[in-house]
Amino acid sequence: MTEKKRKTKIIVEINFFECSIPKEEIFVFSGYKFKLIRYQIGWDFETAKQIIANQDGYADAIVFVGLFERADVFDQYFVHQPTHKLINLVRESEVYTGSKLREFYSRWTINNIAKTQPTFFFGRKALFHTALVSPMLAPLIEHGVKFQSADLISLLGIPIPVNSLTQLKNMIRTFKVALGNLPFNFLSPSHSESSPIRSRAQMVLKKLIAKNDIFVTFRGLLDDIGSFDVLKGKVLIIDALSVDQKRRLKDFGVSDVVEIGPKIAELDKVGITSFAVFDALFDLVRQADEPDMTYDEYLLKYLENSTDIQLETKRKFLPPLRCAFIIHPLEQDNLYLSKYLRWIKSLPDFVIDGIENQLVHAPSFHYGSITGIKSTLTGQEVICEVYTLLTTPKIMRKMSEEALYKKLVKTTEQARERGCVMLGLGAYTKVIGDAGITVSKRSPIPVTNGNSYSTAATLWAAKEMSERMGFLSPICLDSPRVKGKAMVIGATGGIGRVSSHLLALVFDELVLVGRRADKLLELRDEIKKDFKDIKLSVCTDPNIHLLSTDLIVTATSNDSGKILDIMKVKPGAVICDCSRPLDIGPEDAKKRPDVMIIESGEIDLPGDLKFTCDIGLPFPSVYACLAETVLLSLENRIESFSLGRRLSLKQVKEIYKLGIKHGAKLSAIRGPMGTISNADIKRCRNLAAKKLKTWQQDTKAKGK
């Protein structure tokens, strides 16, 4: 070893975050021997001055841990004068604070996590212990974090959170002089635990941590929160952890621990985690080995050749993701579901009509939340934020498409501000215009119209109800097909087209009904390519086939009157109405108690659900289009999945499998008069069986 490498390099660490007796560590880094003298003094600037006077010139480097020279929040900043005065006292030794190195590692670590796990940060709510001096602030905001900070609490002892960048910048402008000169004595670990400022800060801080998904702090401040139990289920982002802190965190279910600092094996053995010390070590070695190389170039060279730097996460729980869904009243009576409009129920009809017309001008607003959604497979949780437009389909059809697009895009922006990663369109909002394409293009977050899962749930419900009615039998024992005739009304639409393809898998006869003959023939040819042995018919009038049809799926956006003659429907037939507004109302259902009329399948999401709003379904059912948005979030598929009117058969099958994977189930099936019970099914089946005995004779007679 050369004489140069035999000389021990001395680093003096002045730590303002911790309190302890002076310690010395001897270690080797990059072939050089170092002695680290540690002074842990709390926020005691007078003691710091004495140490500088004694060690300046003797030490190769003096490093400050816990101090910051300058706080930058985008276009606002302030200089911390006490820190600059201390730095200026050092005349002969090199001075390091680690700020540049900390900023580099913060960006590098966060960018790497965001690249490999795109939803790790996006849409999460993060609390910063002190955002003013956190190099993690900018990169986390860039990756979609909705931020809150405890700067007023941590730095000034004021028990009020900072809820936006604007507020943080205003705080700098308001307290610039105070912040620039404040010694922050009350943050010292030597400060009495019974201090009113400290106790109040801890209490408020714990409440804020509980409301956020991510807590961003520093090793020296972590113990200020008191017990670590408040971190259960949270992501902790921190510069480094002490051995004791790591041990304590194991006892509390922290979701992930992300340590920003590098993992350097030869330094980890002696417990060196400070960026300021790293800063000094890198630069002293550079001066000895590569004096002509700049610090930045040397650091880059070191990182290129290093294999011991890694990201450390410890997955136990997953913080919830947020998605959004937009609904609206399907008819005038649904207006009363909103607490803001219950008062109009007793008004004269002409007044209510006037109010309904005027609601076209009302903006969308946050209606409530669905919490407790949790995958049975992965444990991922999702919170669905529900937004509403107080506009019925009747009024919506009178609006220009552009006006409605603007309302929906505004809703996506509101949802993004609330931390939602995607938004689902419900009811008529997914039908009007181009079925979500334009909204998705203008939205800051992905948008889905939910039609893929609506289709899957519709046929899921139809299959289950047909089986429970018991009138269909397989063609042969080995065949998945049944002897029966199915009809799709609105077959050339998005849901109708895919329903037709899927029903062709099951029935030996299929009737396609629509308004446009050219589109019907096009669909017929598509299906015929894959199912050559099926009997296919096309028509524009469903009534001519009702007498012999076993399953009818309606997938229209009809509002102009009845689409079929209920009195011609075959006894025991199942009508699955997935249209919005509904095609078959209670009056028609009462006329034919021997026909099973169901609405499109609704879904029970996995978890212990809690609703803070009425979405128009019995608890805990949700619309299948809402469930699609949730399932995509559970799967971390943050994308515009279903858009436009032409659905993909592949996507319908895919979202159905995602539902099974995460624990979604078909809800109790509903009809025009509410939930259908086992007794209702038995009653309908018995009536149908009795009527079917004479149905063929009656049908022939009617035919004559």
pLDDT digits (tens, 9 = 90+) for 333-366: 777 666 667 777 677 777 777 777 777 788 889 9
User: Whole-angstrom Cα distance, residue 695 to residue 446?
Assistant: 51
* pTM for the structure as a whole: 0.66
Any domain includes 141: no
pLDDT reported for residue 697: 57
Kindly report the average pLDDT of the chain as a whole number. 85
Please tell me which residue, 122 or 676, carries the higher pLDDT value.
676
- What is the SS3 assignment for 491? coil
User: Whole-angstrom Cα distance, residue 485 to residue 465?
Assistant: 15
Pairing of strands 214-217, 235-238: parallel
What one-letter code names the amino acid at 138?
A
Residue 59 DSSP symbol: B
Please tell me which residue, 246 or 604, carries the higher pLDDT value.
604
Two structure tokens written together for 468: 């429970």
pLDDT reported for residue 309: 42
Contacts of 340 (CB under 8 A, 6+ apart): 390
For the stretch 497-548, pLDDT in tens is 889 999 998 899 999 999 899 999 999 999 998 888 899 999 999 999 999 9
Q: How distant, in Å, are the alpha carbons of 423, 560, 703 from that of 328?
A: 15, 20, 44
Which of 258-262, 306-310, 546-550 is modeled with the greatest confidence? 546-550
**E strand residue ranges, 198-242:** 214-217, 235-238
Q: Taking 80 as the threshold, does the pLDDT of residue 595 lie above it?
A: yes
Q: Taking 80 as the threshold, does the pLDDT of residue 8 lie above it?
A: yes
Instruction: Annotate 132-167 with DSSP letters as a single string.
Output: GG-TTHHHHHHTT-EEEE-HHHHHH-----B-SHHH
pLDDT reported for residue 16: 87
Order across the sheet with 256-259: list the strands: 146-149, 125-128, 214-217, 235-238, 256-259
Any domain includes 491: yes
Q: Is 217 exposed, middle or buried (0-12, 13-18, 19+ CB in 10 A)?
A: buried
φ, ψ (nearest 5 deg) of residue 98: 80, 5
Q: Taking 60 as the threshold, does the pLDDT of residue 188 lie above it?
A: no
pLDDT reported for residue 315: 46
CB 522 within 8 A of CB 496: no
Contacts of 194 (CB under 8 A, 6+ apart): none
User: Whole-angstrom Cα distance, residue 556 to residue 545?
Assistant: 18
Q: Taking 90 as the threshold, does the pLDDT of residue 35 lie above it?
A: yes
Domain limits for position 469: 454-603+672-703
Please tell me which residue, 467 or 224, carries the higher pLDDT value.
467
CB 568 within 8 A of CB 653: no
* CA nearest neighbour of 403 among 459, 366, 362: 362
- What is the SS3 assignment for 169? helix
Give the CATH number of the domain where residue 559 resides.
3.40.50.720
Any domain includes 287: no
User: Whole-angstrom Cα distance, residue 421 to residue 440?
Assistant: 13
Instruction: Annotate 609-674 with DSSP letters as a single string.
Output: EEESS--SS-TTEE-HHHHHHHHHHHTT--S--S-SS---HHHHHHHHHHHHHHT-EEPPPEETTE
pLDDT reported for residue 523: 92
pLDDT reported for residue 642: 92
pLDDT reported for residue 559: 60
φ, ψ (nearest 5 deg) of residue 149: -135, 155
Lowest mean pLDDT among 25-34, 143-152, 694-703: 694-703
**Mean per-residue pLDDT, 186-194:** 48
Residue 252 DSSP symbol: T
* CA nearest neighbour of 491 among 534, 454, 539, 451: 539
For the stretch 263-293, pLDDT in tens is 777 787 777 888 899 999 989 999 999 999 9
* CA nearest neighbour of 274 among 265, 261, 284: 261
CB 663 within 8 A of CB 464: no
Q: What angle do CA 250, 256, 257 make, to 5 degrees?
A: 70
Any domain includes 685: yes
pLDDT reported for residue 195: 61
* CA nearest neighbour of 11 among 45, 58, 53, 49: 58
pLDDT reported for residue 555: 85
User: Whole-angstrom Cα distance, residue 552 to residue 572?
Assistant: 11
Domain count, the chain: 1
User: Whole-angstrom Cα distance, residue 598 to residue 619?
Assistant: 18
What one-letter code names the amino acid at 108?
W
**Mean per-residue pLDDT, 399-409:** 90
Q: Taking 60 as the threshold, does the pLDDT of residue 310 lie above it?
A: no
Order across the sheet with 447-448: list the strands: 447-448, 420-425, 321-327, 381-388, 365-374, 607-611
Q: Is 545 left (phi over 0), alpha (psi -120 to 50) or beta?
A: alpha
What one-letter code names the amino acid at 401?
E
The b/e string for 566-591 (b: 16+ C-beta within 10 A; e otherwise) is bebbbbbbbbbbbbbbbbbeeebbee
pLDDT reported for residue 308: 45
For the stretch 444-503, pLDDT in tens is 999 999 989 988 998 899 889 998 998 988 765 555 678 899 999 999 887 888 899 999
Any domain includes 573: yes
Two structure tokens written together for 502: 């899927």
- What is the SS3 assignment for 201? helix
Place of tokens 């102009």: 560
pLDDT reported for residue 313: 47
Q: Taking 70 as the threshold, does the pLDDT of residue 192 lie above it?
A: no
Lowest mean pLDDT among 317-326, 485-494, 598-607: 317-326
CB 458 within 8 A of CB 499: yes
**Mean per-residue pLDDT, 141-164:** 86
Any domain includes 147: no
pLDDT reported for residue 144: 82
Q: Taking 80 as the threshold, does the pLDDT of residue 415 lie above it?
A: yes
Lowest mean pLDDT among 84-98, 301-315, 636-650: 301-315
Contacts of 48 (CB under 8 A, 6+ apart): 14, 16, 41, 86
Any domain includes 44: no
Q: Taking 90 as the threshold, does the pLDDT of residue 571 lie above it?
A: yes
Any domain includes 542: yes
Helices (H), 430-577: 437-442, 451-469, 494-503, 517-530
- What is the SS3 assignment for 433? coil
* CA nearest neighbour of 159 among 193, 191, 203: 203
